[in-house]
Amino acid sequence: MEAHENALHKAVASLRRGEAVMFPTDTVYGLGAAVDFAEGPGMLYDLKERDRGKPIAWLVGDPDDLDRYGEDVSASVRALARRFWPGPLTLVVKAAERVPDSFRSAAGTIGLRMPDDATALALIEAVGCPLATTSANRSGNRAPRSFDELDPALVERVFVVADLGDSKTSGLASTVLDCTGDAPLVVRQGAIALEDIRPLL
């Protein structure tokens, strides 16, 4: 446990320097940067060799962050957050003014999710801001479900918080809902089934 605490402290220091860090989440291992300290998501795209046209969602630490970083959020979308957060549901909403342009999609939106993982939430709380986070793999490769599955080339370039066995990493990506229209649309089917979401819409 002491080793894990030391790793968290080092990860927070890296994030506050604007650097990227890899850490376990409830879905897969994530590659993240602190949005208040990083210049933008550019380094995440570079590390992943990812198309910059694909937005990177934020991991947040509280359901209230849906209104803090989202704008014109409907009651039904708040109900989804209350039901499924923390958990594997990403809600795409219109970005509030406080969201930097560099983190918004071309349509002016931002994806938000509260992870159900103690390590991820501890990092968010300690850094004091959301973490722009994508899966910790190079584009086209399988998303890592454990420390052992991390790409050695990425491990050499960023600090990693290892999974000490208490992570709930499922290996299933989050379900993504676009909540910017009249009715939420499924962008990606993931860990939460549409049948579980539909009653709240």
- Asked if residue 66 lies in contact with residue 81, where contact means CB atoms within 8 angstroms, the answer is yes
Query: Per-residue pLDDT tens for 116-148?
Result: 999 999 999 999 999 999 999 999 899 999 889
Encoded tokens for 177: 């809902």
Place of tokens 């208490």: 166
The predicted structure's pLDDT at residue 163: 63
pLDDT in tens, 64-94: 999 999 999 999 999 999 999 999 999 999 9
Q: Is the pLDDT of residue 166 over 60?
A: no
pLDDT of residue 120: 95
| Cβ-proximal residues to 149 (8 Å cutoff; 6+ apart), any chain | 29, 142
Sign of CA dihedral 44, 46, 51, 52: positive
| Residues 100/80, Cβ–Cβ less than 8 Å | no
In single-letter form, the type of residue at position 165 comes to G
What pLDDT score does 80 carry? Answer: 94
pLDDT at 157 over 70: yes
Q: Is the pLDDT of residue 182 over 90?
A: no
Q: What is the pTM of this model?
A: 0.94
Say how many domains are in the chain.
Answer: 1
pLDDT of residue 29: 95
The string over 114-150, giving b where at least 16 C-beta atoms fall within 10 Å of a residue's C-beta and e elsewhere, is: bbbbebbbbbbebbebbbbbbbbbeeeeebbbebebb
Binned at pLDDT 50, 70 and 90, residue 168 comes out as low
| Cβ neighbours of residue 193 closer than 8 Å, sequence gap 6 or more | 175
What's the mean pLDDT in 26-53? 95
pLDDT at 1 over 70: no
Two tokens, residue 46: 């570079």
Asked if pLDDT for residue 164 goes beyond 60, the answer is no
**Nearest Cα to 28, choosing from 86, 113, 82, 88?**
88
> What CATH number has the domain bearing residue 79?
3.90.870.10
* CA gap 118, 28 in Å, rounded: 14
Kindly state the average pLDDT of the residues 156-177. Answer: 82
Output the average pLDDT for the chain. 92
Q: Domain of 65?
A: 2-200
pLDDT at 201 over 80: no
Alpha helices in 17-149 (DSSP H): 42-48, 65-69, 75-84, 118-127
